[in-house]
A and B are shown apart, each in its own frame.
Chain A
Amino acid sequence: MITQKINKSEIYLLSGPAEIKVNSGLVSVIGAEFNEGKRFNVPTGKRVPIEILLDGKLEINFGDTGRIEVLEKRTIPELWDELAEKIFKEKRRKILILGEVDTGKSFFTTYISNKLIKNKVTVGILDCDVGQSDVGPPGTLGLAICDKEFLFLSSQPADEIFFIGSLSPGLHLTSFITGIDKLTTYAVTKTDFLIIDTTGWVQGDGGRQVKQSKIDIIQPDLIILLQRNKELEHLVRTVHPDNIFRLPVSKKASNTSQGDRKALRELVSINYFKNSKSYSISLDKIKTERSYFKSGYELSLNNEKVEYAERLSAWEGILAFVTELLTPDELADLKKEHNVFNIRQFKTGTEKYLTVALLDKNRRALGLGNIEKFDFKDKAIILHSPISADNFKKVEIIQFGSNRTNFSGKEMGFISPGSL
């Protein structure tokens, strides 16, 4: 433990892991203020600037790689403060933040949120980065409603989640856009300001399409562009200039490698699923969404490889769960027998680790689960989920996605969209 004397106007950079107690004085950390007696933690891998607002002393307990260094000047531009004031004074309620990957969108969101919360308002943060979620588990959109200052977005519990079932919106565009609409509509009734933190997907057909749709749906009162040059200008050509605010990307914004991204994502996932319990849910009681499974009528197929089958709507034909894939001859016989053109085959066992959302009767997501198996003999789905037994009793709908995650939160690949 060290005691650090601090003087007004000094700036420090603190690298975690470290536990800090303010013995005396007043400090500001990413816009959140801490006075005498207050404590905060900086975890491993995180760095925060500490701005001294009043003289005093800090008590710091460092972990193995933790350290503190003096900075010559403030790293957060004055422009950010002016912007926070503008948002508050002009009541710009819906703020959309755009930027490529690694432009510091989450840090900026945290800072602006804290500055707004200081005015005793409620701030909603809608985290749309399904591949690098801070709010809610990976593969979901997360909404946090905040009325107290905070240091890290990832420490904010999700008040609502919307399941996408993929780490990229790419092949799940309709769910993605629907989720943004639903959570935005909900958030504006519960918060004074809503900040929408987005993915870094801003180029190419998909990136342009998604960002345009976001602007159309959210109708933001202000769009903040965090850009290095002019890489986002194509997205706002038709937006009124008064509704755009341009900020340069901080030189402190660091590049995160593919491997680090996965590791960070898995940390969130492991943390989310760490207290998972095994549950069984009756196939007769459960309803499904975003799947062919349980959307048709159970059917008996005369082939020993078929464990379970359903007749789907019209030309969709038959969905068959098979122990091994049917041969072309077997398929032809079954198609003829049941007068269909199409038989979808799903190999049983492939559902293992498939991540699903568990919804109540009002279609609100209670949490996520990872499937262990479809047990057609006992007509049940066995899955693992961190939600409480009481909440599990409320589950009436299972929403399917494409990601696989094992029971301790590790990524296990995907199933092909549309295969189930």
Chain B
Amino acid sequence: MSFSESDFPGLISLIEGTLKKYKNSDFAVALVNEIIRVYNRVPLYPGIAGMCAGTMAQTVTPDKIKAGDEVLVELEGSPSQFGTVKEISSDEITVGNSKISISETVSILKLNKNTLEEIWPTLIFPEEV
């Protein structure tokens, strides 16, 4: 065995795993872009970017969703839908231009864009530069 001397191989594996795991390629690309965005905020800590990546796709119930969230909705017998939530009511959710009945959803994954703030708040710096 030899040691990997940085966390970059782990980050590459995570990106590879993300692209393989999600059949909806738009969602997979959005996740990868989010991993890259977090990494660019903490370029000294690829390991922390990797930790954040693990919590970027969160399974949520419809009551935890609000307009503006980016979600992947898995549907019974139909292709999944990824996009920004425009409206949500107790029985219907509008993702992009698609109206989806909540009763038809199998699961909803929310793209969490606050992972660094939640996991490592001391790495949030004033944007003075």
Contact = CB atoms under 8 A, between A and B. Distances in A.
A43 B121 CA distance: 27
Given A166-B44, A415-B43, A416-B43, A258 B129 contact: no
Given A170-B6, A205-B4, A414 B42 contact: yes
Contact of B44 (A205, A206, A414): A414
A353 B128 CA distance: 10
A241 interface: no
A259 B122 contact: yes
A205 B7 CA distance: 9
A375 to B, nearest CB: 17
A352 B45 contact: no
B116 to A, nearest CB: 12
B122 A205 contact: no
Interface string A194-213: 00000000000110110000
B22 interface: no
Contacts of B129: 349-350, 352-353, 404, 412-413
A262 B121 CA distance: 10
Chain A CB within 10 A, most for which of B4, B40, B43: B43
Contacts of B122: 258-259, 261-262
A170 B3 contact: no
Interface in A120-143: none
Contacts of A352: 129
Nearest to A208: B3
Nearest to B41: A413
Contacts of A261: 122
A404 B127 CA distance: 12
B121 A258 contact: yes
Contacts of A209: 3, 5
A209 B3 CA distance: 7
A171 interface: yes
Size class of the contact patch on chain B = 20 to 34
A171 B125 contact: no
Nearest to A172: B44
A74 B108 CA distance: 58
B32 to A, nearest CB: 18
A43 B40 CA distance: 38
B126 interface: yes
B125 A413 contact: yes
A168 interface: yes
B128 A171 contact: no
B47 interface: yes
B45 A168 contact: yes
B44 A171 contact: yes
A239 to B, nearest CB: 18
Contacts of B3: 205-206, 208-209
Interface string A165-177: 0111011010000
Nearest to B127: A413
A317 interface: no
A104 interface: no
B44 A412 contact: no
Contacts of A106: none
A56 interface: no
A412 B4 contact: no
A171 B126 contact: no
Interface in B45-76: 45-47
Chain B CB within 10 A, most for which of A171, A411, A415, A417: A171
A412 B42 contact: no
Given A171-B6, A208-B3, A411 B121 contact: no
A261 B121 CA distance: 12
A205 B43 contact: no
A402 interface: yes
A171 B42 CA distance: 12
Nearest to A412: B125
Contact of B5 (A205, A262, A412, A414): A205
Contacts of A414: 42-44
Contacts of B7: 170, 206
A382 to B, nearest CB: 15
A166 B120 CA distance: 17
A206 B44 CA distance: 14
Interface string A259-286: 1011000000000000000000000000
Interface of A: 166-168, 170-171, 173, 205-206, 208-209, 258-259, 261-262, 349-350, 352-353, 402, 404, 406, 411-417
5 contacts: A170-B44, A206-B7, A261-B122, A352-B129, A404-B129
